């Protein structure tokens, strides 16, 4: 791989991918909607392109001469039903025209609720939600693409620039030393992945021709409860504010007034029956899954969030 295009380069996983690719000496085109954020993140280290992923012309221009396209774009939940399939088809078309490989950053929604066991790649996908079914439709569309493709499933993200995530909401409050929120039962252990770890794992797959035509599950550093996370915050940074638990009922009530919360409520099952991924396939075929301890990952994320405000 000599040149890569990262779509959604200003987001949590997208920005981590750009950094990992640059560290590996790979030329990078960083594509997103907001020029100011791209310049703040990458300055002159990557080629910056501002564009719209729903414009085929923008995508085709961005993909010229690249070997691999990394699709790490996030769109708001309330746009999923009308836009996710169109977005993926645009990305596939750009990859086909550029004769590039295609790497998809995906979540765990298509697996449905956790069953108390580690989820392997061959686990049946039985989504119970509208968004889980959309993710499964998107995956099926990718499988039909006429380019080398791979799909990587990740748990919830946290890390530098991953502010708009479930755990990111908690860490932002702590970084600002303000009263925080934690979504779901603080006693229930769940899995998160530090975005630089996810980027390392994804690059190690993307450089291997044998990894294409497959799905891969990339786990985090085990599971951790909200109570443990809050103890880490208080022990590492002296955070002493109250952290409010956001319940399903609260999300449902907020959904009466907020369209994002209205769409989020169906995903609350993930905090009642968490999905935890198995990294056995990755370890068998690639090697150890990159993992940063929650203590170190949360500490580095807090430092990055504090730096963004200064």
Q: How is 133-175 classified by DSSP, letter by letter?
A: HHHHHHHHHHHT-SS-EEEEE--EEESTT--SSHHHHHHHHHH
Q: How far apart are the first and last CA of the chain?
A: 36
> What pTM was estimated for this model as a whole?
0.95
For 71, residues 6+ apart whose C-beta sits below 8 A from its C-beta are: 7, 8, 88, 91, 102, 103, 104, 105
Domain ranges of the chain: 3-162+193-222+275-291
Q: Give the H or E element holding residue 192.
A: strand 190-194
Please tell us whether the domain made up of 3-162+193-222+275-291 is placed in CATH 3.30.70.20. no
Give exposure, 227-245, as e/b (b: 16+ Cβ within 10 Å): eebbebbeeebebeeebee
Q: pLDDT (tens digit, 0 to 9) for every residue of the chain, 310 residues total? A: 999 999 999 999 999 999 999 999 999 999 999 889 999 999 889 999 999 999 999 999 999 999 999 999 999 999 999 899 999 999 999 999 999 999 999 999 999 999 889 999 999 999 989 999 999 999 999 999 999 999 999 999 999 988 889 899 899 888 888 888 999 999 999 999 999 999 999 999 999 999 999 999 999 999 999 999 999 988 867 788 889 998 888 888 887 888 888 888 889 899 889 999 999 999 999 999 999 999 999 999 988 887 765 4
**Which of 102, 84, 80 has its CA nearest to residue 93?**
102
Q: DSSP letter string over 54-92?
A: T-HHHHHHHTTT-SEEEE-----GGGHHHHHHHHHHHHH
Pairwise CA distance, residues 70 & 104, whole Å: 6
Q: At residue 182, what are phi and psi to the nearest 5 degrees?
A: -135, 125
Q: Which residues pair with 188 in a beta bridge?
A: none
Helical axes 294-309 vs 166-175, angle rounded to 10°: 60
Q: In whole angstroms, give the CA distance from residue 124 to residue 185.
A: 26
């Amino acid at each position: 791989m000599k040149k890569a295009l990262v779509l959604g380069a200003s987001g949590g996983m997208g920005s981590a991918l750009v950094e990992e690719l640059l560290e590996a000496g790979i030329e990078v085109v960083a594509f997103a909607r907001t020029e100011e954020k791209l310049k703040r993140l990458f300055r002159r280290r990557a080629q910056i392109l501002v564009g719209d992923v729903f414009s085929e012309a923008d995508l085709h221009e961005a993909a010229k001469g690249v070997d691999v396209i990394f699709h790490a774009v996030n769109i708001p939940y309330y746009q999923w039903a009308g836009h996710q399939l169109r977005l993926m088809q645009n990305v596939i078309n750009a990859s086909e025209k550029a004769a590039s490989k295609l790497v998809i950053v995906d979540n765990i929604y298509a697996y449905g609720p956790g069953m108390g066991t580690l989820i392997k790649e061959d686990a049946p996908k039985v989504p119970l939600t509208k968004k889980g079914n959309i993710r499964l439709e998107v995956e099926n569309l990718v499988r039909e693409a006429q380019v080398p493709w791979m799909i990587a499933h990740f748990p919830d993200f946290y890390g530098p620039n991953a502010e708009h995530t479930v755990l990111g909401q908690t860490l932002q409050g702590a970084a600002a030393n303000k009263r925080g929120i934690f979504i779901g039962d603080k006693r229930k252990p769940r899995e998160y992945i530090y975005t630089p770890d996810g980027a390392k794992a994804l690059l190690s797959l993307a450089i291997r021709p044998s990894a294409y035509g497959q799905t891969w599950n990339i786990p985090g550093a085990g599971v951790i409860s909200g109570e443990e996370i809050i103890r880490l915050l208080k022990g590492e940074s002296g955070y002493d504010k109250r952290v409010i638990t956001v319940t399903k009922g609260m999300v449902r009530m907020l959904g009466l007034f907020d369209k994002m919360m209205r769409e989020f409520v169906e995903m609350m099952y993930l905090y009642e029956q968490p999905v935890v991924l198995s990294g056995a396939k990755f370890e068998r075929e690639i090697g150890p899954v990159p993992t940063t301890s929650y203590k170190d990952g949360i500490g580095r994320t807090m430092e990055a969030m504090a730096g963004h405000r200064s």
